[in-house]
Structure 1
């Protein structure tokens, strides 16, 4: 049997399994109440971070910059996140369920122009026409769901964005990348990299290699299958390769990490007992070890090493570095696995709930002996790590993360920081007690090859003034605060992840 036929047959079996136990199960409705959330919002204005958008589109809106933008800083920050939570008196109870809205913040001529658009997935268009949610969701049981043909019929395209080969894609966990117009943000449709790979998962965290190509994965196991699909996409947006690897046992993963030589996947063990939606049916299993799969980029058709390591639940990774046969991976460990199943669940209901920031830990992998262990850095109160990908992967990078600093009115981040675990240094800028700080993307300075020579660009929500904004900071002097900020005359909910596309 040739390799492509083998791959197609394996994917076919995994897809059938995926559509069986996870996506095609329904039960009685368990959801939030829009009136209850509205009452909570009046008492706790910070809940605007989980409020439904007021319209399907925003802008284009141009606002002047406060401060001075660096002369060579030019491009567009794209952001994505769940934004449509309510229909017909029914509110999702899980943050991950909201339909995606992509934002474009375009910098130029001393101003910022913002535009926001809901991603017009089949799910969003079908439910808009029906006037109610009628599609199975990741974390909320929806009553009387309609039949779906494949994963893209339930795709919310709500987690991240990326530009590959000059084309813009909205990404989620369980389906295709959805292509958008990079200027108007209009939805073009799902991307099929190859006919036999149609509608298979293309995760929200692709990683660009130094040669310009992109690596990504699709977690078939989280949908009931038993495989890890590894994608390799060229810098021109054409598929180079796709391979499926047997996980052995079900393992959850949201992101992965790379060195110059290897891809590293951390699989969190879970049990699945159908009881509604995927996250309602899932129970992470801290009594079992996590599995680590390492794949050599030069031989992506096989697993170079498998490790077992103490259980850890993590959504997001920082960097990874490799020397002398050892790989070190930095990741954000979530201590409360129940909260990890539904982050900020209280906020989705309009209630006040505890913050759930992660702790930075390091995974040490000995490629020769097969031994693996965790080491704590002693650093916590952070999430959504970013770093300069130009950093050589034989040493650790500086990480840039939102964090908490000083008094705050919300159980969410209100500051941004730089941390260098190897040197024990930290620099923090606090935006204020009423400002929610999101992920800050690192933007390299054009023409420079020095690691960390560049800027951070991050989005903000000022809930006291009910406005969303954006800030640009010098990555080498985070403590000095923004070089430039801009505020819109309106607000929208918190998102998840972003991508900066420099002006050509």
Structure 2
């Protein structure tokens, strides 16, 4: 299909979704703010899913315990859903809240924190109205208003990255929103090319060794089956936007990359009958195989397709390629229904949540024989895996991920782990029963090109003391505990993903 025809069909599909009344109206299926508040009184750890009540925080100088290592200087940016309630209405799904971006600045003078809500058109309209107006990804909003395009519903709530010195808040279904790197003011949505305005630019771009970024836009929820593949230069200019047709609609949240290839795992789904938001109606088709696309970076407008047993995957670790085989490390969720709405009970203020049961698995793609298979590890209860991207592309990397260790008062992660399945190594630091541990970002040591020579910087929520903070580790010595911990005099909701911009 030629580019113009593909975009014409895509845009017509997007418009049809935006203006279809049955998807925008109906009985509210959201949680009750009073019910959540009552649950929070009984279970302080539910502060991780409490709605923020202010549009900005800080700047505040944080309390430093320990010492920041020499050479670690820059800003840890973090993003996540924070505004979850308006006008007596609470979102049902964790993915729905409007995004708040945090900036933790680390340097010789200590650590400061500031945060600001991303001022998307959705957020500003709903602030003025005093209620939610727009359809959400996982909650039916009553009397929702039609939207003109994806960015009218964009919450900019999932991740954050820097491209060419510019800071962007990212979501699954619309444009990247540019922010001022210092003050975090919202500058507006980015249009990489006029005919691509408001099309999906996912929250999980991957940086190539030349500094350029690859990304995708999933358009299955907008009508046609397909993906838009983005290639952005290190200077922030568009190198290419390529349309890739897919055999059937498939859900994907992120992807993996080797030195030569991009790998996409599309989980088959179908929609339940009736009206409702996307995740309310989505049902994973566990009896069908996942479609796996392997895309050569030199030919990004076509793919080689594989089939592999069903798996519900949000996040991938590293991928490497040798002797005609690609191996991708992924976090597979054991319960597809729980994966459809992570921490749903916590969003309601209930303590019955079973956490996010998962297991690390390798996806083996035999490029010579055209075969694909999963191989599970005995590593369980992890999410948000990251690694040092300087690792050579023909060998597995060490993974760094939040996990669960020992007693935990919340059904969430309370530890961080270094995982090296290929060598049978595992190091864990347990924070304690009342600490909720989030993604830990790897930061390379300046001047070093040795893989894993650097630090981990991760965010924490101390529910017992109603405070948020960060921890800093030597990445090669996780078991020794943090070199430094930093605490704020306030707490805020848990987020999803971050990016460290070195000074």
TM-score norm. by structure 1 comes to 0.97
Pair 1:346-2:349 in alignment: no
1:4 to partner: Cα distance = 5.1
Flag the 1:18–1:397 CA change in 2: closer, same or farther, 3 A: farther
Q: Secondary structure at the match of 1:476?
A: coil
Secondary structure in 2 aligned to 1:222?
helix
Partner of 1:61: 60
In 2, Cα distance between equivalents of 1:63 and 1:309: 48
1:261 aligns to what?
260
Match of 1:201 in 2: 200
- Residue 478 (1) aligns with residue 478 (2): yes
Q: Per the alignment, in what secondary structure is the counterpart of residue 65 of structure 1?
A: strand
Per the TM alignment, residue 65 of structure 1 is displaced from its structure 2 partner at its CA by 2.0
Q: Post-superposition shift, 1:405?
A: 0.8
RMSD, aligned α-carbons: 1.4
CA distance in 1, matches of 2:110, 2:215: 34
| 5+ residue gaps, structure 1 | none
SS at match of 2:314: strand
Pairing 1:34-433 to 2, within 5 Å after superposition: 34-273=33-272, 274-303=274-303, 305-352=304-351, 353-433=353-433
Deviation at 1:381? 1.0
| 3-state DSSP of counterpart to 1:217 | strand
Q: In the TM superposition, what is the alpha-carbon distance from 1:169 to its structure 2 partner?
A: 0.3
Please give the per-residue CA displacement for 1:371-424, whole angstroms capped at 9, x wherever unaligned. 100101111111000000000110100000000111111000000000101001
159-168 vs 101-110, which deviates more?
Answer: 101-110
* Cross-structure match for 2:464: 464
SS at match of 1:333: strand
Q: Which segment drifts farther, 275-284 or 21-30?
A: 21-30
SS at match of 2:47: helix
1:27 equivalent in structure 2: 26
Q: Quick one: structure 1 residues 22 and 101, their matched pair in 2 at CA, closer, same or farther if it must change by over 3 Å?
A: farther
What is the rounded CA distance, in whole Å, between the counterparts of 1:101 and 1:477 in structure 2?
32
Q: 2:15, 2:292 → 1: CA distance? A: 26
Q: How has the CA–CA distance of structure 1 residues 323 and 18 changed in structure 2, closer, same or farther, with 3 Å as cutoff? A: farther
Shift of residue 147, structure 1, vs aligned partner: 1.4
* Counterpart contact for 2:402–2:414, Cα < 8 Å: yes
Checking the alignment, whether the CA contact within 8 Å between 1:26 and 1:277 is kept in structure 2 is no
Q: Deviations over 1:249-306 (max 9, x none)?
A: 1100000000000000000000024520000111100011100001000111211x10
SS at match of 2:464: coil
Matches of 1:177 and 1:191 in 2, distance apart? 6
Secondary structure at 1:35 match in 2? helix
> Any gaps of 5 or more consecutive residues in structure 2?
none
- Mapped partners of 2:437, 2:224: distance in 1: 36
Give the match's secondary structure for 2:62: strand
1: CA distance, partners of 2:319 / 2:331: 13
* TM-score scaled by length of structure 2: 0.97
Which moves more between the two structures, 440-449 or 23-32? 23-32
Give the Å deviation of 1:6.
Answer: 4.6
Count of residues paired in the alignment: 501
Partners of 2:499 and 2:429 in 1: how far apart? 21
CA distance 1:22–1:460, change in 2 (3 Å): farther
- Written as runs of structure 1 = structure 2, the 5 A alignment for 1:1-20 is 5-6=4-5, 8-16=7-15, 18-19=17-18
* CA distance in 1: counterparts of 2:17 and 2:217, whole angstroms: 12
